[in-house]
Structure 1
Amino acid sequence: MLAVAVMLGALSSCGISATSGWNGDVPGLGEQKRTNFESPFGPLYPADIAVLVAVSQAGYWEAPTSELVARESTNPKVKAVAAQLSREHHALNMYNEAAAARVHVQLPLSATPQQEGWRKQIEAATGDERDRLYVQLTRAAHGSVYMKVATVRATTQNDIVRSLAEVATEYVSRHMGLLESTGLANLDSLAVHSGTDAEYQPTPSPAEWVFGAGLALAAAIGTLLVIRLASRQIEEVTEDGVAIE
């Protein structure tokens, strides 16, 4: 049973790391993610840096994806919304880069692997399916980022980050409304759980379920073999006439 518990714990950890979003470590940031800094604009804490990183990474996948949908969609509502999101993400990225430079925060150079997966998923789809995926994935991602940005807007002690968070809150809130206006946002894309610290995450893929089930089965079989061997050893000792206390 102990072995099973250990394996399940390891499996849970693997699941979390495999689906983490921008909340995870960002290559190149190093100690910035874990240390607060004093600056002329007020102290800079990890949550402040995380918002700058989140806005940057969102732009890397949402701006080009929106451009694609605006160019190729045949749905007038989706086409107009995507065009507006594309323009505004470029503007927000410029504002975010200027803010990061003023507080000396190094921004990532690309979106997260998960976000790149969403972008490729949308690009691979066509027609109505692409419109649906675009609206649902971007709405869900906006919802998660919105909570982060709004929290920092209310609590940060850094003037530069506060201004950036205020602008970002307005942009993200407007984008959620625009995406919802298409009528393609379903319950899954609107359900963002504030109790977790991870960005919107899709359910595990069939391959991940199979891998997890295989690990659990291997752990169970291993435990049964250990118990079986231990039982045989006890039986052999008993047959030899050795007293067991």
Structure 2
Amino acid sequence: MIRLSLRIPADLPERVTAQAAADRRSLNSEILHPWRPPSPLPGRTPDRPTAIRLLLPRSAGNRPVRSYADRAGTGQANLAAGTVNTQWGPLSASDRDLIVRVRLAGLWELPAGQQAIERDPNKAIKEAGDHLIVGHTDLDKRVRVVAAQLNVELPNQPNEQQQGWLQEMTAATGTEYERKFVNLLRAAHGKIFPAIGTVRNSTRNSLVRQLASDANQTVLDHITILEKTGAVDFDALANDTAALSTASPTGPPAPAAGVTAPSAPPVQPGDGVVATSSPSPAPPGQVNTARPEPSDPDNVLR
């Protein structure tokens, strides 16, 4: 049996700290440092040195740590991997996903709107169906033009889930039909609404940015007109949304009974500043979706 004896001096932490402070190498460079034993005391034979490798992270005060953003598996790396360049700016995977989702929305919502007009259960449902047809007829023109310019393949039929929704509506009658029509469509619009905002915020492609703006107005109009029917189950929407969240509730505390919250002062410009734009394009409860016909350089619409 071979027995090894390893002697570590009591002041090792101080020596390591001093060595780390003197060595300015980055955490991303070589950070394995062999320990050098101290000089022997007078009159003593030095022990045979034994190498110890220590990981010595540098303090933030010494030198900034490089970013790992460009490494595989990070968000930036994934963005770059799914992106292609176009004359209108980079086209990412999320950009292409929005284009396809806008097309899919029209493939099932327009038939749903047509069915509502044909069944004509009441004025509010018929009006909602009319908005679905008008909105998606317009939006489909725009998405087909954008897809042709960016060379993105579009689906030609609703996906399996959307076909299931249409089948549910078709099988229902009376008030059950009205309930399914309103709530299936309202829930679907509520899911794509934040996705549009995310792409509108992050896209670097000017065609996708404009499509997101157009889709935002159309979806908001449809949400508004569906809510106008009075048949939206807001409790179900809230519970479905909460079921997908794992975060703890945040925000200001709930109002206390018998306690009046203090009034807030107005937010307004300083003296001498004159603003002339209108705060809203339409009266409350209405969404202005009027816009010029899309430019069609590739004659997609002919």
Q: How would you bin the TM-score normalised by the shorter chain? A: 0.5 to 0.7
Question: Secondary structure of 1:170's match?
Answer: helix
Separation in 1, partners of 2:225, 2:237? 14
- 1:138 corresponds to: 185
Q: Once superposed, which parts of structure 1, at least 4 consecutive aligned residues long, lie more than 4 Å away?
A: 194-197
Structure 1 residues 146 and 67: CA distance shift in structure 2, 3 A: same
Query: 2:153 corresponds to which residue?
Result: 106
Match of 1:96 in 2: 143
- Give the structure-1-normalised TM-score: 0.63
Establish whether residue 87 from structure 1 lines up as the match of residue 142 from structure 2.
Answer: no
5+ unaligned residues in a row in structure 1: which ranges? 1-33, 198-245
CA shift, 1:108, in A, is 1.2
* Deviation, structure 1 residue 112: 1.0
Residue 215 of structure 2 corresponds to residue 168 of structure 1: yes
Mapping of 1:30-41 within 5 angstroms? 35-41=82-88
Q: How far apart, CA to CA, are the structure 2 residues paired with 1:194 and 1:153?
A: 24
| 2:186 counterpart letter in structure 1 | R
State the percentage of identical aligned residues. 33
Structure with higher Rg: it is 2
Shift of 1:36: 1.1
Q: Which runs of 5+ in 2 are unaligned?
A: 1-80, 246-302
Amino acid at match of 1:48: D
Q: Secondary structure at the match of 1:65?
A: helix
Q: Say which SS state the counterpart of residue 241 (structure 2) adopts.
A: coil
Amino acid in the other structure paired with 1:175: H
**Correspondence 1:56 to 2:82:** no
Deviations 1:171-220 (A, max 9, x none): 001110110110111022465639969xxxxxxxxxxxxxxxxxxxxxxx
> Aligned residue for 2:176?
129
**Post-superposition shift, 1:59?**
0.8
Q: Counterparts of 2:140 and 2:88 in 1: how far apart (Å)? A: 21
Higher percent of residues as helix: 1
Q: What is the total number of aligned residue pairs between the two structures? A: 164
Shift in Å at residue 74 of structure 1? 2.0
Distance 1:194 1:42 in 2: 36
> Partners in 1 of 2:193 and 2:217 — Cα distance?
9
Does the Cα contact within 8 Å between 1:147 and 1:194 map onto a contact in 2?
no
Partner of 2:116: 69
1:31-71 alpha-carbon deviations (Å, 9 max, x no partner): xxx72110000000011011001111111111001100112
What do you get for the CA RMSD once the two structures are aligned? Answer: 1.9
2:249 pairs with 1:188 = no
Q: Which deviations, in whole Å up to 9, do the C-alpha atoms of 1:66-91 show, x marking residues without a partner? A: 10011212211111111121121111
In 2: Cα distance, 1:138 partner to 1:189 partner: 12
Question: How has the CA–CA distance of structure 1 residues 195 and 45 changed in structure 2, closer, same or farther, with 3 Å as cutoff?
Answer: farther
**Would the aligned equivalents of 1:122 and 1:130 in 2 still touch at CA under 8 Å?**
yes
Q: Using CA pairs under 8 Å that are at least 6 residues apart, name the structure with larger relative contact order, 1 or 2.
A: 1
